[in-house]
Structures are given as C-alpha cells and as structure tokens.
Chain A
C-alpha cells in the first residue's frame, strides 16, 4: 500500500509576519521555514504505520509544489522516514493550481491514500485536499483524527459536530488530517538523517493550469487597545464592563 503525503513549506509558527512590495508579498527575510505542522503530523503517523509491520503500508512518498528553496523541508521529510520526495517545480500559485499538480502526479503513480493536513499555516486555504479528490473523482474524508487497518481495508475516524464517525474506505482515498492523527511530530533520527542523503528527491515540471483566485494584498490586523486591568477584589467591575462596554454577556 502506497501513501502520498502532501507537504507545504510554511514559516515557523512563531514568525512575526511582515509583507513587502506594497503589501503584496509575504516578506521571507529572516524566516525559518518548517514543514506545515499538520503535514508533519500526517507524515509522522504514516511513518509510524509503516514501521508497524502488522499494517499494509509499504511506501511513503512526499510531494511539494514549490521552488528549490523548499528542498531542505523535503529532505527533512526524508529524514523523518519518507521513502521518496517529489518536488513540482513551481510557486504554488493558488489552491487549484497546486491541486492540479498533485492530482496529475497521483494519476501517474497510483496511491491508496493521499494525505493532507487540515490547513497550511500560511494561506489557511484548507482547499487543496478536497480539490485533489474531486479532480481524481475519488472519495475524501476530512477532519480525520485516526486510521486503523484491518487487512487491506481501512477504518478512518473523522470528527463531526459533537462526536466521531468511523468510515470504511477502499481504493484511492484522500484524507485530510487534523490534530490527534499523530500524537506528536517525529524527530528524525541519525539513521534517518544519514539515509536522507541517498533517498530520491525528484524534481518534475509543473503542468499548465488556470488560476481561479489571486491574492492582491495583505494586511496586518489593527493594533489592539491596551488591556484594562481589573482589581481582583472588585470583580463586579469586570461583569459590568463585559455587559455594558463589550456587550458580550
């Protein structure tokens, strides 16, 4: 069973966000890039699944649509335990464009599971996974928090309003995972880091695709007013402010 994990390369979660070129572009100066945290969970759990020989997982490929600057991130994925990395050589121009690239690769290679994180830490699109599923015409399960194998069939746990549903799937399925899918991201071990040198990182040309959307400008939120401190011995004041000033009670 082959798994494809889709990786986006995002600024570290503590990054101070800045923009340049008249607010039209994210300013990457001094930014440390990481594997999108949800994608990292997706990959970590996939590697766990592969390591447990009672599961049918045989190969894990990671794919990223990005420029050569994302290669360190892909090599980290190889160090964590992916067997092979694919980079589609292009800026990920919009969600649909990115989905077309990934779907095109999946069509050539065939995977049982194509795994995404629930959103990427930059544009928070939450779109590529669903789009890939639709382009391929295959089922998708989103907000997935667990997966269990029983022979060749898999049961997927998804979060729905107020609880969980368990879905049985067959054939190629797109799953979009969230917190809980893996307990924590795996730390690459020395062997993994060493082997990452020899594992394949293939670069493929992008295919043409229309752009359905375009980002035209970024803005930072308005600076927040200074906090009003409340005397701990006069909490009635807080209640009054919440009901009269903030009007949230």
Chain B
C-alpha cells in the first residue's frame, strides 16, 4: 500500500494546476456565459500534450499513467470543468478506444493526430431514443460490400462540432440485437454528415454539444473497430475507462468549489466572527472535505487498477457514481456557504453547481452506475 504520488505525477499535477490557475481562470466566466468553445486553450493544452496524455508515445502520445490523468483532469476541472470533459472525451473515449481495439493501420492513421491534439475526437453513442439503453441503436450501417452506408441521428455529442474524428456506434445486423452493433471511425467531413445546432445547456456551457445527422454516409469497411458485431462491447469497455475521466472531472468540481468555499468562510464575517467559526458552516466544510477525499481515493483506485492491467469496471462505476454525487452536493453547499454572493457568476460556485449536475447524467447516469455495481454484486463479481 502506498499513497504517495511519484515525482512525475506531481509534476503533471503542477503543470495542469499552473495552466488552470494562470490561464483558464482568466476568461472562464465569459466562456460559460456566452457558451464559447475554448479553442485557444485546447490548442495550447494540446501543445502541452494533455489531449493525448494517456496514449503510448509510439503513437505520439504522452505515455502517462491513468493516475496522472486523474490528477490533471481534477486540476483543470477545479477551474473549468468544460475543459475537463473535452480532454476526457478525447483521451479516454476516443484515443483509448482506438488504441485498445484498433488495428495498426487505424492507429497510424487516426490515433496519431488525435494524440498530438491536431484533431479532436468525439464519441457518438447516444441517440434521441437510446440513452441509458444503449442497446436500442437506431442508426444503421448497411453492409455494401466494401463500405457501410450509414443513416440516422446521434445526439448530445460532446465535441460534436469541434471534433473531426468520430467514433460512431451503429446497428449493422438488427436481428442480432446488441450483438449486431459496430463501431466505425468516421471523418466528420464525409459527405452526408450534418452537424446540428449547438445545444443551449444549463451547465458545462463551453463544451460544444451537438446532434449529428447521417444521410447515406459511406464509411469504408477498414474503418470498423474490431470484428463485425464488436461495437456494443467496444462501447461498454471504452466507457469503463471514460468514467474515470468523468469521475475526475466531478472530483475537480467538488474540490474547486470546496477551496472557494473554505477561503470565503475564513474571510466572510457574520455576527462578529468569520463564518467558519459558526459550527453549522464548519461542519459543512468537514463533510465536504471528507467526501471529497473519499471520491479522490475511489478515482485513484480505479486509475491504479487500470494502470496495473487489472479489471477496473466496477471501480470506475463506483468512482463515477460517488464523485458525481459528491460534486453535486459539495457545489450546492459551496453556494450555500457563499450566501447571496454564491448566486452570482463572479464567485464561480454557481457555475460549478450547474456543471456538476451533468456529471450525474452523462457517460451513464448515477442510476446506471448503480445497475453496473449491483449486477456485479449479484454475480459475485465485485
């Protein structure tokens, strides 16, 4: 048992913290308010190597471990969780999916530019009628010999417009149910793809979320990830890793809000003393700190298992479930501790509270995480 971070992990955390505290903080309120995609920051962060930090250096990635990844996403999300999700989707859904299940040619062609951050990736699973129930895919890919003909609509797609590499989950053999599903690598600029309007969201407003329409899009067969029918398994496996990213994002929201609330509680006076001296406030902070620490340990444990090559699906589900609920609770309390000031944009915590809500929804709602965990319990698989 060893809870110490190694020197490299500390260096990465510091690099992410420096960038967040020095650069992201400057315009985060404006980006949220006007729903501006942080293109400049993403460019700089890709130069720093964060967009492909988990990818093997052989494919132009940073070659860092998942523990470092948790630390980096936490630091970014403390200040701007939209940045957290953009990096998370690129790294742990798109890059991870290709690196784990793609062929050598696919890695050379698709993974390298993603790892360098020259291209951004998106993961297209959800549909208007298929969210939690990802098996009921309506988007079809008909086998036309040497290509697939893709038709359908995906929605809620993070990086939908900014990405140029899509991994699209499609139904090829309807009769086989989820065993007929495939995952295809698709270039956003292929004829027949239309990017829908930018969703006007409650939170996470500077990440771009779009619906994507496919009309007779021809996708070469060599773009299929894995064997025919591997798509559903691909999606589930990839999401297991993705959840570590979202859990870390939630962790960052919680720890960022906690830091702000603590600072405020030490400065703000009411009834003749700093409000941290009122037990009701102090105990809130004690609960927050404890829950954040628990969430952090769950995130790091899942990351550690993944780095060791051990099964981590249950651990990442627990981390995501707990960190997301913690984010929601802690950000809400942080607003409460700020009183009226917490309700205005200048103090950051109201944005964090809005952002936090999403962590309980995407990449598997909290309910779905409980399904994953409870099934593992039922199957004696925990």
Residues of A in contact, count (CB < 8 Å): 15
B237 to chain A, nearest CB (A): 25
Residue of A75, A76, A190 touching B48 (CB-CB under 8 A):
A190
Known A-B contacts: A193-B8, A193-B11, A194-B57. Give 7 more (CB < 8 A): A187-B15, A187-B48, A190-B53, A190-B61, A190-B64, A193-B12, A194-B64
Interface residues of B in 273-316 (CB under 8 A from A): none
A58 part of interface (Cβ distance < 8 Å): no
| CA distance in complex: A209, B328 (Å) | 61
A27 part of interface (Cβ distance < 8 Å): no
Are A191 and B49 closer than 8 Å at their CB atoms?
A: yes
- B residues engaging A (CB < 8 A)? 7-8, 10-12, 15, 18-19, 22, 47-50, 53, 57, 61-64
13 A–B contact pairs at CB < 8 A? A75-B7, A184-B22, A187-B15, A189-B15, A189-B47, A189-B48, A190-B49, A191-B49, A191-B62, A193-B11, A193-B62, A194-B57, A194-B62
Are B50 and A190 closer than 8 Å at their CB atoms?
A: yes
A34 to chain B, nearest CB (A): 9
| CA distance in complex: A194, B19 (Å) | 18
Residue of B11, B22, B50, B63 touching A76 (CB-CB under 8 A):
B11
| CA distance in complex: A194, B12 (Å) | 10
Residue of A72, A184, A193, A194 touching B15 (CB-CB under 8 A):
A193
| CA distance in complex: A197, B8 (Å) | 9
A56 part of interface (Cβ distance < 8 Å): no
Are A190 and B63 closer than 8 Å at their CB atoms?
A: yes
* B49: A residues at CB distance < 8 A: 189-191
A11 part of interface (Cβ distance < 8 Å): no
* B53: A residues at CB distance < 8 A: 190
Are B63 and A188 closer than 8 Å at their CB atoms?
A: no
A99 part of interface (Cβ distance < 8 Å): no
Are A190 and B62 closer than 8 Å at their CB atoms?
A: yes
* B22: A residues at CB distance < 8 A: 184
* B8: A residues at CB distance < 8 A: 193, 196-197
| CA distance in complex: A197, B53 (Å) | 16
Interface residues of A in 167-215 (CB under 8 A from B): 184-185, 187-191, 193-194, 196-197
* A185: B residues at CB distance < 8 A: 18
Residues A187 and B7 in contact in the complex (CB < 8 Å), given A194-B62, A194-B63: no
A62 part of interface (Cβ distance < 8 Å): no
Of all chain B residues, which has the CB nearest A79? B11
| CA distance in complex: A75, B7 (Å) | 9
